A = this chain, B = another copy of it.
């Protein structure tokens, strides 16, 4: 068995940025064994020393040099982590210098600007968008569709709700979602409430087998979860949406983040 290499996520704020960077980079080395520890809010000299000691300790125990993903806005804190001899990867340490050189002015070393509520306007918009998406989830509040940036349509369990919430949280977009049900299919057309907003509509679909598996977790052995029902609903939804020219995205092998990024790009392109 290979020894497990210690990995530290260290930040003077939430650690969200450092965590995402670490995940991106570690994912390029599949098969390696890593033991990750997160140390957020390392925002005083004492805490920095504590963190440095933990790195030294972990190195001694595992005998493998630790990897450290850090976002420390203070140069002295970065230096203290580097003094351990571990591999310290800090976007501030590596990129701030490049930016300062180009911009010709110093950085201000404000902690956690990117995940704080300090940009009050943008932050308010994001929380507002989350509340909108909750209020307009699952076909509710169709009278609010005028305010929506995007309306997701698709059959039950096609991934509309997590996608709506993610887009609201990440991008501050107001995303409503409307479930297409057997009732809609009987009428052979989209509900009246959606018709004025065809440009904002995007369809979500997925493979019938995948949908049947997801529905079966909820209601095992039901007609609702049967492959035949899933297939039929997906076909009907596909026809109904393509009839009026609505783009459809397949979520079978895509994460919520991927779907969100693709949808957002399609909105930006549409706006140009």
Contacts and interface: CB of A to CB of B under 8 A. Distances in A.
A255 interface: yes
Interface stretch (A16-24, A177-185, A237-245): A16-24
Given A17-B24, A40-B261, A105-B29, A165 B170 contact: no
* Residue in A40, A95, A110 whose Cβ sees the most chain B Cβ within 10 Å: A95
Interface SS of chain A: helix
Interface stretch (A111-119, A193-201, A228-236): A111-119
Nearest to A157: B131
- Count copies of this chain in the complex: 2
Contacts of A162: 127, 130-131, 169
A261 B90 CA distance: 19
A230 to B, nearest CB: 18
A6 to B, nearest CB: 12
Contacts of A32: 103, 105
B21 A92 contact: no
A11 to B, nearest CB: 9
A158 interface: no
A113 B26 CA distance: 9
Nearest to A30: B108
Contacts of A123: 255
7 contacts: A14-B257, A21-B21, A27-B110, A29-B105, A89-B94, A134-B161, A165-B165
Interface of A: 5, 13-17, 20-21, 23-25, 27-30, 32, 38, 40-41, 65, 67, 71, 73, 87, 89, 91-92, 94-96, 98-99, 102-103, 105, 107-110, 112-117, 123, 127, 130-131, 134, 161-162, 165-166, 169-170, 253-258, 260-262, 265, 268
Given A28-B108, A87-B98, A89-B99, 5 more contacts: A13-B258, A16-B257, A24-B71, A38-B265, A87-B99
